[in-house]
Amino acid sequence: MIWIVFKFLKDKQKLKVILSNQDLKNLNITFEEIYLGSVNTKKTIIKILSKAKDLTGFDLSGKILLIEVFETKENGCVIYFSPMSNKNLDNKSNNYILGTYSFEYLNLDYLIDSVIKLFETFGYKIFKSSLYIDKTSKKYFLTLVTIDPKSEDIIAFLKEFSTLRSTTKLFQIFIDEHYKAIIKNNAIEILYNNFKK
């Protein structure tokens, strides 16, 4: 059975769909196929939205959608459907301009080292920062909200130590819902003050 959760995010109607590993098998599709946009993906999306309409009355037919999909640690996935307004269409890089970035680290030492240098060089550009851990994979996630509308310098610097996973708010929401928060809102400042040499 497909478990569909309907809720409001940021004062806009966004549909959140949670699919277990068994749901994906029932739909005869994998996370990779959805993520990469295979031939089977469109049929599956139509099926999911039809089910959502039946259960919630939330009708997205005929609308241009922003679709984001994230894998869960149970080998399922979470899909967010967001109707695009005219304002969104005029500014396709809206999420990027807001300065929301999520980085994945495989090594805590690299994370601490990069955060110390980041704070010293670009600290004035960072409005908010949070640190999470995926207990299953032992990976760390650093999320940033920057005051700079385009932060190529921060991205280029942190990519020397980590992988840029996303530039969207929804991915940060996904991280907050699925991974354990270590430090929220001021991670960079706290790490800098505790580990600077």
pLDDT tens digits, residue range 42-51?
A: 788 888 888 8
pLDDT at 109 over 80: yes
User: Cα dihedral sign for 152, 157, 160, 164?
Assistant: negative
3-state SS of the chain: helix, strand, coil percent to 5? 40, 30, 25
CA nearest to 68, candidates 91, 95, 105: 95
Per-residue pLDDT tens over the stretch 36-71: 666 678 788 888 888 878 877 777 766 767 777 888
Cβ atoms within 10 A of the Cβ of 130, count? 21
Token pair of 121 as six digits: 């060089």
Contacts by 154-159, CB closer than 8 A, 24 or more apart: 154/101, 154/118, 154/122, 154/125, 154/126, 155/101, 157/114, 157/117, 157/118, 157/121, 157/122, 158/101, 158/103, 158/114, 158/118, 159/103
Same domain, 117 and 181: yes
CB 49 within 8 A of CB 60: yes
What's the mean per-residue pLDDT of the chain? Answer: 81
Same domain, 85 and 144: no
Split at pLDDT 50, 70, 90, the class of 91 is very low
Split at pLDDT 50, 70, 90, the class of 15 is confident
pLDDT at 85: 57
Mutual orientation of helices 187-195 and 108-122 as an angle, nearest 10°?
A: 100
Same domain, 16 and 58: yes
pLDDT at 17: 85
Q: Which domain holds residue 119?
A: 94-195
Same domain, 183 and 102: yes
CA gap 90, 59 in Å, rounded = 23
CA gap 66, 91 in Å, rounded = 13
pLDDT, greater one: 142 or 86? 142
Task: Specify the number of domains making up the chain.
Answer: 2
Same domain, 26 and 102: no
Prediction pTM value: 0.59
CA gap 103, 112 in Å, rounded = 13
pLDDT at 53: 80
CA nearest to 122, candidates 94, 144, 98: 144
Per-residue pLDDT tens over the stretch 134-160: 999 999 999 998 876 567 889 999 999
Same domain, 79 and 126: no
Question: Of the candidates 90, 105, 134, which is a domain's last residue?
Answer: 90
Split at pLDDT 50, 70, 90, the class of 96 is very low
CB 34 within 8 A of CB 77: yes
Same domain, 124 and 52: no
pLDDT at 12 over 60: no
